[in-house]
Amino acid sequence: MNVLKISAFSDGDRGGNPAGVVIADELPNDSEMQRIAFAVGFSETAFAVPAGSGWRVRYFSPESEVPFCGHATIALGAALALAHGDGVFALTLNQACITVECNRDGGAITAALQSPPTRSTPAPAELVSAILALFGYTHDDLDPRIPPALAHGGANHLVLGLKTREALASMKYELNVGRSLMKREDLATILFAHAETPRLFHTRNPFASGGVYEDPATGAATAAFAGYLRDIEWPHGGAIDVVQGEDMGMRSLLRAEIPPLTGSSIRVSGTARIMQS
């Protein structure tokens, strides 16, 4: 089975988050998709088959199926554009219906997804304390302007704002302990964010629940985070830019456009680059 390898939210011809993409006539069975995702080894592989006027899509990490993955959706959009031309592609996920739009300009590929609806709630104090202990942070490291929250935009994420870029750069944890905690709490990722300005953020995303220490670009978490900023009336001005993966040596660039309607979809966009097999 042919697996395309595409890096999403890249910084020009570097960085981004690699994803596998499989476009087939029929979905393989669950165990086969899990086997392929494990063999590919990227944080997610997207599987897509034609369904009416759109596409049925499922996402697998090396260890488990996930309900929604932003960077793999961007990679899938690029793959669909290469196969079928530029356009807007309707995607049916396990729990939502979304779209991805893709355009090519010479060798450059740009793509934008419309996330599932977003929502957020304050994070329980005991969960916040457990996460801070796991990562070696204290409450003094937190940015009081961004209260800890559980944010959803197709998957569940814990959002923690950090006061300094230095604190973000020092992030470390024990993978197996993080995996157990995140699976118990049904967290896809933990999003640590530092606000350089009200519209420019630096983020890091541990993805221990999927067996991945850290993601260099996370579109689903960015969508959930943008929805949360809207919920707390953050002065985002209608959009935020996110730099992720810098501390991994895989600098990635994401943009999230934030409409005013509470709970509405977030548009997350970036570039994609085809990787050499």
Percentage of the chain beyond pLDDT 70 is 99
Rounded-to-integer distance, Cα 102 and Cα 259, Å: 20
What Cα–Cα distance (Å) separates residue 134 from each residue in 114, 140, 173? Answer: 33, 15, 6
Q: How far apart are CA 133 and CA 271, in angstroms?
A: 36
Look at strands 252-257 and 189-197 and give their pairing.
Answer: unpaired
How far apart (Å, rounded) are the C-alpha atoms in residues 67 and 60? 9
Question: Is-contact 192 203, C-beta < 8 A?
Answer: yes
Q: What is the pLDDT of residue 1?
A: 79
Q: pLDDT per residue over 163-206, tens digit each?
A: 999 999 999 999 999 999 999 999 999 999 999 999 999 999 99
Reduced to 3 states, what is the DSSP secondary structure of residue 110? strand
Instruction: Match 């009200």 to its residue by tokens.
Output: 198
266 Cβ neighbours under 8 A, 6+ residues apart = 114, 115, 118, 153, 222, 223, 226, 227, 256, 257, 258, 259
Residue 44: Cβ within 10 Å count: 31
pLDDT digits (tens, 9 = 90+) for 89-107: 999 999 999 999 999 988 7
Q: Is residue 108 scored above 90 in pLDDT? A: no
- Residue of 216, 209, 210 lying closest to 254 (CA atoms): 216
Closest CA to 221 of 130, 158, 141: 158
Residue-wise pLDDT for 241-253, tens only, equals 999 999 999 999 9
* pLDDT for res 31: 97
Q: Are 270 and 254 in contact (CB under 8 A)?
A: yes
Handedness of CA 10, 14, 20, 22 (dihedral sign): positive
- The domains located in the chain, with CATH, are 4-114 (3.10.310.10), 119-268 (3.10.310.10)
pTM for this entry: 0.95
| First-to-final CA distance of the chain | 14
Instruction: Using pLDDT thresholds of 50, 70 and 90, give the confidence band for residue 277.
Output: low
Query: What pLDDT is stored for residue 102 in this prediction?
Result: 96
Displacement of CA 127 from its chain's centroid (Å)? 21
Task: Give the number of C-alpha atoms closer than 13 A to the C-alpha of residue 232, restricted to the C-beta side.
Answer: 19
* pLDDT the model gives residue 106: 80
Cα 76 to Cα 84: distance, rounded to the nearest angstrom: 12
How many other C-beta atoms are found inside a 10 Å radius of the C-beta of residue 233?
7
Average pLDDT, rounded, for the chain: 96
Residue 161: per-residue pLDDT: 98
Res 41 pLDDT > 90 = yes
- pLDDT of residue 153 exceeding 80: yes
